[in-house]
Amino acid sequence: MAKHGKKLRLGVNVDHVATVRNARGGIHPDPVRAALLAAEAGADGITAHLREDRRHISDTDIERLRTQLHVPLNLEMAATDEMLAIALKHRPHAVCLVPEKREERTTEGGLDVAGQHNQLAPYVRRLVDAGIRVSMFIEAEPRQLDASKSVGAPVVELHTGRYCETPQGPERDKQLLRLKAAAAHAEKIGLECHAGHGLGYDTVEPVAAIPTLAELNIGHFLVGEAIFVGFADSIRRMRAIMDAARIDSGRT
Ligand code: PXP
């Protein structure tokens, strides 16, 4: 369980390095090289989403990340039989179960763990029994947190998309309160709590200040910002904002 005041981990998602590579085919830019650079720049872990349609990360990328990385690999995937076999073959440090629709541009909304409880419980068990830390990517709703606990996942990742997409003002504040309440609920029921999706320099600080969060997963913004300042610098700046938010929240 997340301890208050503990360092907030940063997982860097390298999917969109692969998106740029795949726009032309070939091998450049290499997401594994980006992952190694990210780890050097202060990422505590690397996240990669192997989608059913392989639109960015490929099976070979996962194999190479698994053998070359010296920081934990968090494999995002849909709860399908194909992905279960891949996870059990590679045994990454962590698996994050996400909903997936072919036509979506990115992961829209969280997994309906409450609605798929009976299918997900044995699925999660297979992963947990293999020694993989399983997290459920969910909306910040108490019933999804309770269902995640009930299917046996030790971790949840709160979807921050709606918070990030809402313009600054009372509506965004409301979304932040939802995230805070969910993170507190997670701690109460004994789940480690992570968050991610859509975070950038201007949205990360209040989320990083939530004391019971243990990890943030951030990708698209960092890869985009790398065009202007380089990948390492974009990660270092994000890390610094997160660390400052955590220190400030400890003082209040
Ligand atoms: N966490 C999860 C579960 C995700 O699916 C994604 C997007 O792949 C992220 C975090 C990172 O989101 P972004 O790329 O918008 O930072």
Using one digit for the tens of pLDDT, what is the confidence trace for 116-125? 999 999 999 9
The per-residue pLDDT for range 99-146, each reduced to its tens digit, is 987 666 766 789 999 999 999 999 999 999 999 999 999 999 999 999
Q: Does ligand 1 have an atom closer than 6 angstroms to the CB of 139?
A: no
What pLDDT is recorded for position 100?
Answer: 86
For the CA of 222, the nearest atom of ligand 1 = 16
CATH superfamily of 9-251: Aldolase class I (3.20.20.70)
Which positions ≥6 away from 92 have C-beta within 8 Å? Answer: 62, 66, 72, 73, 74, 75, 132
Q: Has residue 189 got a pLDDT over 90?
A: yes
Phi and psi at residue 192, to the nearest 5° = -75, 140
- Beta strands per DSSP E along the chain: 9-13, 45-49, 73-77, 94-97, 133-138, 155-159, 192-196, 213-218
Q: What average pLDDT does the chain have?
A: 95
What pLDDT is recorded for position 25?
Answer: 93
What pLDDT is recorded for position 1?
Answer: 40
The answer to whether the pTM exceeds 0.85 is: yes
Q: Does ligand 1 have an atom closer than 6 angstroms to the CB of 196?
A: yes
106 Cα–ligand 1 center, Å: 8
As a dihedral over the C-alpha atoms of residue 109, residue 115, residue 117, residue 120, rounded to 10 degrees, the angle is -40
The mean per-residue pLDDT over the stretch 220-235 comes to 98
Q: Is 4 a catalytic residue?
A: no
Q: Does ligand 1 have an atom closer than 6 angstroms to the CB of 200?
A: no
- pLDDT bucket at 4, cuts 50 / 70 / 90: low
What residue segments make up the domains of the chain, in order of their start? 9-251
For the CA of 199, the nearest atom of ligand 1 = 16
What pLDDT is recorded for position 2?
Answer: 42
Q: Cα dist. 1→123, 154, 190 in Å? A: 22, 9, 6
CA distance 157 to 217: 9
- Chain-centroid distance of CA 60 in Å reads 21
The mean per-residue pLDDT over the stretch 208-220 comes to 97
Q: Does ligand 1 have an atom closer than 6 angstroms to the CB of 45?
A: no
Strand partners, 134: 95
Q: Has residue 3 got a pLDDT over 50?
A: no
